[in-house]
């Protein structure tokens, strides 16, 4: 490893936002998952929680290998368990979801500890998951189709989160705790 490469690893880790996370709720198409993992990395999202039918998890690991090297993926067997974990760890859970109580995605304050929940390609966010979320956000649609591709919706919302956190200077100070920083640096530097 060159010194430049090692600097890049450290610089990337110093910009990670451990209190901004993504939770995919039964999103299952490998190319969508791969695009979401890649977007997480590029937005400084270090942790991706995935509710994924148990027997298919191996299939994902294969497809996303490479892009998932930089993002820690946490598999969960149920949405309830995954959402409750976010709350226990002090993060609000916001669903990207059309509902009567949904607000425009630009009106949410993403500098708060937040997990963004994304729904399944065909069926969207389940009623049970939606009920458990603190907030629902929507991206306004100007056309005939009813929704964006899920990886596209994730990117549009995370881009706004990144903008807000950047404006608040949150990428300029270390947010990972020293232990996670050292552990991840070691893993990245010794693959």
Ligand X SMILES: C[S@@+](CC[C@H](N)C(=O)[O-])C[C@H]1O[C@@H](n2cnc3c(N)ncnc32)[C@H](O)[C@@H]1O
Residues that bind a copy of itself (CB under 8 A): 8-9, 12, 15, 31, 34-35, 38-44, 67, 69-70, 106, 139-145, 148-149, 151-152, 155-156, 159, 162-163, 166, 171
Q: Among ligand X, a copy of itself, none, what binds residue 125 when CB lies within 5 to 8 Å by partner kind?
A: ligand X
- Residue 82 contact among a copy of itself, ligand X, none, beta carbon within 5 to 8 Å by kind: none
Residue 56 burial (C-beta neighbours within 10 Å; 0-12, 13-18, 19+): exposed
The answer to whether 136 touches 103, Cβ cutoff 8 Å, is yes
Strand order of the sheet with strand 114-118?
72-76, 47-51, 20-25, 114-118, 92-96, 135-138, 102-104
Residue 43 Cβ vs a copy of itself, minimum distance, rounded to whole Å? 6
Which residues from 91-110 bind ligand X, rule CB under 6 A?
96-97
Picking from 82, 71, 161, 164, the residue whose alpha carbon sits closest to that of residue 117 is 82
Residue 190 CB, shortest distance to ligand X, in Å, is 26
100 closest CA partner among 75, 130, 132, 126: 130
Answer with the entry of ligand X, a copy of itself, none that 85 interacts with (C-beta below 5 to 8 A by kind).
none
The CB-of-25 to ligand X minimum distance in angstroms stands at 8
Which C-beta is closer to a copy of itself: that of 13 or that of 50? 13
Within a 10 A sphere around the Cβ of 173, how many other Cβ atoms?
8
């Amino acid at each position: 490893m060159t010194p430049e490469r090692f600097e890049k690893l450290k610089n990337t880790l110093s910009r990670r936002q451990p209190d901004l996370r993504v939770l995919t709720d039964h999103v299952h198409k490998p190319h969508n998952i791969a695009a979401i993992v890649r977007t997480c990395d590029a937005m400084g999202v270090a942790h991706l929680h995935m509710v994924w039918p148990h027997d298919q998890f191996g299939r994902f690991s294969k497809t996303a290998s490479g892009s998932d090297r930089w993002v820690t993926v946490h598999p969960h067997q149920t949405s309830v368990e995954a959402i409750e974990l976010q709350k226990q760890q002090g993060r609000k859970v916001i669903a990207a979801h059309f509902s009567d109580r949904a607000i425009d995605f630009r009106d949410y304050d993403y500098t708060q500890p937040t997990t963004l929940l994304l729904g399944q390609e065909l069926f969207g966010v389940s009623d049970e998951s939606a009920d458990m979320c603190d907030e629902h956000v929507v991206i306004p649609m100007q056309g005939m189709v009813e929704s964006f591709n899920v990886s596209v919706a994730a990117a549009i919302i995370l881009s706004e989160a990144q903008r807000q956190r950047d404006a608040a200077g949150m990428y300029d100070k270390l947010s990972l705790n020293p232990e996670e920083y050292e552990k991840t640096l070691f893993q990245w530097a010794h693959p």
